Amino acid sequence: MKRRLVSVLIGMTMAAALLGGCGGSSNTATDEAADDTAAEAEAEGEEAASGDLITVGYAQVGHESDWRTANTENYQNTFTAENGYELSFVDADNDNAAQIEAVRSFIQQELDYIVIAPIETAGWDTVLQEAEDAGIPVIIADREIDATNFDAFVGTNTVDEGVTAGNWLGEYLDGAEANILVIEGSVGASATLGRTEGFNSVVAEHSEWNIIDSQSGDFTQSGGQEVMESFIKSYEGQFNVVVCQNDNEAYGAMDAMDAAGITYGVDGDVIIISFDATHDGLQYTLDGKINCDVECNPIQAEVVAGVIQAMEAGEDYPESTIVEDSAFVAPGIESAYAITMTQEILDGRAY
């Protein structure tokens, strides 16, 4: 809006000047209309100047997980009018086409900035070119994309998250066999691709490990439960490790194993590795139900706002900012790759 008002303001002022210039000093109807238009534009300009809100569009993945809820709340609490922003927020409900259309609507609204947490890595070239043609900077946040025509990235390194999970498992098993089932995240999401790539790079270093099967649980609790139920039907008694690519899938997997009488966690038959380290995930880790929970920090909005402020000021800004992650393990587990959970850590968590 700020940008459009300035362009409208410039347009109207120029039109008024041209009309006035063309009609000379005579006080014709055209001149009066031009004077009114210029006065309106000036009034609007003053209003914008006093308001001076930076308009930001955020095309969010959806509402599939506790992580996503924390991320959405972080944006809504950061891009407020008090902080100088007008946020246009769209929840794309895990629908890639809808998310691309949301970005197109931001372009049509001529927002000042567009932020995208892309559901999938593919399919972004065309709409990003449209944003570029419209002169609207685009920040890719949370997940990565295949296209390169955007202005900045703020997110986490999900390949490193997968490597951390694998390194912890190697330390924990200390040479023992692992027969692994993987409940992957949403198909085509960079978080899924990254965690899989990172974890599998460590699996390749362990001849005593075997990934029996992997299926997508779509980063949801119901998806995690359905996949785990299917795995139990096919592989009961054959596996001792379940890797869930987010906490909500882990909750579903635990429900399925409870129903089948399969024990898990530090005192159970099955090791559970999860990702996100949300509050409930870390509660399960503190309780010893999840052995290792690798963090993926959803609190990214402040970093995005910093990039936007630098762009506003015409200053240099980082093209890529990786938000730091940790990993947490159940009490009684000491690790070089993860922090041993305590109640104090849980109480101090932001999400």
Interface residues with ligand GZL (CB under 6 A) are 64-65, 67-68, 142-143, 156, 191, 219, 246, 275-276, 296
Nearer to ligand GZL, 88 or 156 (CB): 156
The stretches of 236-342 forming alpha helices (DSSP H) are 247-260, 279-286, 301-312
Nearer to ligand GZL (CB atom), residue 44 or residue 91: 91
User: Between 276 and 293, whose beta carbon lies closer to ligand GZL?
Assistant: 276
For residue 67, the minimal CB distance to ligand GZL (Å) is 3
Q: Kindly tell me which of 144 and 151 has the beta carbon lying closer to ligand GZL.
A: 144
Q: How far is CA 180 from CA 161, 183, 201, 241, in A?
A: 17, 10, 14, 5
Q: What region does 110 belong to: left with phi over 0, alpha with psi -120 to 50, or beta?
A: left
Q: How far is the CB of 111 from ligand GZL (least distance, A)?
A: 23
- Cβ contact 329:291 at 8 Å: yes
Indicate the residue among 75 and 275 with the shorter CB distance to ligand GZL: 275
Cβ–Cβ < 8 Å for 196, 217: no
Is the Cβ of residue 17 or residue 187 nearer to ligand GZL in the bound state?
187
- Find the shortest distance in angstroms from Cβ 91 to ligand GZL: 12
**Least gap, CB of 314 to ligand GZL (angstroms):** 30
Q: Between the CA atoms of 139, 145, 149 and 154, what dihedral angle is there, to the nearest 10 degrees?
A: 30
- Cα distances (angstroms) measured from residue 321 to each of 40, 87, 174: 42, 22, 34
Do 291 and 303 contact (CB within 8 A), yes or no? Answer: no
The H or E element spanning position 10 is helix 2-23
Compare residues 54 and 61 and give the one whose CB is closer to ligand GZL: 61
What is 11-80 written as a DSSP string?
HHHHHHHHHHHHHTT---HHHHHHHHHHHHHHHHHHHHHHH-PEEEEEEE--S-SHHHHHHHHHHHHHS-
What is the nearest approach in angstroms of ligand GZL to the Cβ of residue 246? 4
CB of 217 to ligand GZL, least distance (A): 10
Shortest spacing between CB 142 and ligand GZL, in angstroms: 5
Is the alpha carbon torsion for 226, 278, 65, 165 positive or negative?
negative
Query: Smallest gap, in angstroms, from Cβ of residue 61 to ligand GZL?
Result: 6
Closer Cβ to ligand GZL, 107 or 139, answer by number: 139
Closest CA to 277 of 244, 239, 320, 302: 244
Beta-bridge partners for 57: 88, 114
Pairing type for strands 327-329 and 292-295 reads antiparallel
Q: How far is CA 55 from CA 1, 112, 123, 269, 315, in A?
A: 6, 5, 25, 52, 19
Instruction: Closer to ligand GZL by CB, 142 or 184: give it.
Output: 142
Q: Report the nearest approach of ligand GZL to the CB of residue 251 (Å).
A: 11
Looking at the DSSP bridge assignments, the partners of residue 264 are 270
305 touches 83 (CB < 8 A): yes
CB-wise, 65 or 78, nearer to ligand GZL?
65
Q: How far is the CB of 17 from ligand GZL (least distance, A)?
A: 51
The C-alpha R_g of the chain, in whole angstroms, comes to: 26
